[in-house]
Chain A
């Protein structure tokens, strides 16, 4: 295959062969000579002061090499904010290791490194912790009651200690005046449960510290630079002495944008003098990492008879877990963002309780907001007798709309997703008994930020590209497509690597749907510099002006007055003469990118309800998304399908079940029921390409918005099938059966 158009091609990913043969090295696959094992002691109480920790017995167990408690981790005092990206190190230090108090069942309290995993676990049991058990609170509605147990006295709301850690508000126009214009006003309350990201690979790391104090960390994360920065802050080792090497990552979905094990393993390695490996069990993952927030929300929408939405109000309470930081920005900011509405008021509350601290999960907060808004819109459509897609199209935000959360939209394709959905054959399939169809839309901000890249031409005229982002779903293939297209060379001639913190410039997280947007820009910038250098070298060889050389179809050609005067020079030809034309050929870029622009999607879902078992089966599912430019269509479709599947799990089954002692009762895949292969149909996708005007290839983030519409689309479909409206998730078989019983009793 020799061609030079690669953007939009379904190429085979550069890291693929390793991943289908079992050779790819994930974090838990890494070992080192002399390596020992770390294990974490976790709190048996959901809320308790730590009075004293006695490690004497544990330390004397043969095989134990080091023990760590909060005393060994750098403290960030409670009253002094210490922001790092979207996190605050005051909370991170307390999340990594309980300090004054254990704040949830499973909270790390101490850790041991020993010559085997079994000895380390045994030693953990010998650590004597003197706890003073405190009253605790798990559920959101309990945590905001006036007499609720308070987690952090320093957090105040309305002048009093409170579990409300913060608020966020967006306002546009005057909602009261707006509601006066409405012919129909519907106000409803909703709840959703916390759900876990559910990555199949548990957190793992291996850390080695040398006698001169230099640390090397192999770990599974969504950002090696985040690992380096946080580990540095929590251990006091300067960033220049930490090398964070990104292992292949077995799923993250936002859950690996923070660290858990790395600083603990680093201190254990420092103290023991051995490389230390730590791997979480699935139970640890479920008890002590992630999830995303549970929520309570209230949404009020006013519309005129013709469907014009005149005023909206939304209040969103989100569970943060035990430390502040729930995604209220995503909930309050994205909820109404698909619509052009004159009067908007949106308010988010960040609420702590005795559960594990939430972590980002695919469009954090946005699915929660959309669940409420898109459900009320369905009821408005029914009340005024309008097709729900037509209602959305009538109110769709378009180029020039000013969103309540701030921006004025550039050219984007939300309306196109609705038009495509209206026309699509799926929307016309006839439905049978107990079957129903639902629709919903969604928005996600997307993100830019810092990315670095290096593009080097090898001596034999091929290309090696290095970027700084862990590849969670095929981004290396997309980077290779872009580079091959810009250079006009075969895709096979481009290798793409992920650099570690010592070999590539700072690059922010793989998250926010930012990777291909930002690293695509850095790679484009670097490749353009390389092309300029190639033209200059051809000019030297031909002894003409560089401006008289063009780069086309993978070769330098004399242009203008010199056109046709010289034989074109290929990349190989110029690489071969690099030494005489100025030395090595390569260029890098370190950018702070802007202009990511939001992503919009509309989903149609058909369900069938088994009224004997209460099971909701997904019959058909089609997602329509403005994807900007699909650089590698298969991996764009993959993002859309993966997000939908997670949404189906969130809507229908997934939830944490806490027992009366404040302990999670279902910390495993058997009882925390994520969708399996036989639960799902094929997930159809329609990619609509409205190029992002602010990106050289037109890229728009695509990874997150697919999780925004499903919750409401499924809920609306169930209404269409049964005539029953649900206001809480999950709509699991027992819940559906109960609702069916109630509705039968009412008849």
Chain B
């Protein structure tokens, strides 16, 4: 198969790559662009470890083709911190021990940020349903949900 040429924007920087027509965006990120922060837990859209933003919509990058990135704005976990200064969610996850093994964490953070960008004052139930597509086997979600609610409150306090 002839490779496709794709021009896109990743974490604010212009990026070009070649990929197979059937190659997923997750494989492009991990194997071609060395952006291994997005993880593959299932490859079938069921775990959320591969969560990224596609034009401000939360998607599973394992369910998206690399070719679909053409002309789009992609954001990954690698773009969440501002240089070495962490996003408030990242900082709160650390302070609240909202990660154990950390494999779900990149996807959780990308998904949680998408929620707070859309809804700065979510209820516990809203957080739980929003994150229902992000599996975590380590934490029982308790500290994750608390970290998201606490960050929302903190951001609102500053606004």
Q: Which residues of A contact B (CB under 8 A)?
A: 10, 12-13, 15-17, 19-26, 28-29, 31, 197-202, 248-253, 279, 281-282, 472-474, 634-635, 637-638, 641-646, 668-670, 674-680, 682-683
Contact = CB atoms under 8 A, between A and B. Distances in A.
B151 interface: no
A23 B78 CA distance: 8
A251 B101 contact: yes
A638 B90 contact: no
Contacts of A251: 100-101, 103, 137-138
30 contacts: A10-B95, A12-B95, A17-B94, A21-B78, A26-B39, A199-B101, A200-B103, A201-B103, A249-B101, A250-B102, A473-B100, A473-B138, A638-B100, A641-B143, A642-B138, A642-B139, A643-B140, A644-B140, A645-B140, A669-B41, A669-B46, A674-B135, A675-B140, A676-B132, A676-B133, A677-B145, A678-B131, A678-B132, A680-B140, A683-B142
Given A12-B95, A200-B47, A683-B142, A22 B100 contact: no
- The number of chain B residues touching the other chain, given as a range, is 35 or more
A545 B132 CA distance: 64
Contact of B103 (A26, A282, A642, A668): A26
Contacts of A670: 44, 46
B120 interface: no
A402 B86 CA distance: 53
A112 to B, nearest CB: 19
Contact of B144 (A25, A199, A637, A677): A677
B24 interface: no
Given A200-B103, A634-B97, A680-B140, A668 B36 contact: no
B78 to A, nearest CB: 5
A469 to B, nearest CB: 14
Interface in B83-136: 86, 90, 93-97, 99-106, 109, 124-125, 127-129, 131-136
A21 B47 contact: no
A19 B100 CA distance: 10
A473 B135 CA distance: 16
- Chain A binding site: helix, strand, loop or mixed by DSSP? loop
A474 B101 CA distance: 8
Interface of B: 30, 34-44, 46-47, 49, 76-78, 80-81, 86, 90, 93-97, 99-106, 109, 124-125, 127-129, 131-146
Contacts of A19: 99, 102, 105
Given A17-B94, A200-B136, A201-B103, A23 B37 contact: yes
A13 B94 contact: yes
Nearest to B127: A677
A646 B137 contact: yes
A24 B102 contact: yes
A279 B125 CA distance: 36
A644 to B, nearest CB: 6
A322 to B, nearest CB: 25
Contacts of A31: 34
A160 B139 CA distance: 47
A668 B44 contact: yes
A197 B133 CA distance: 19
Contacts of B105: 19-20
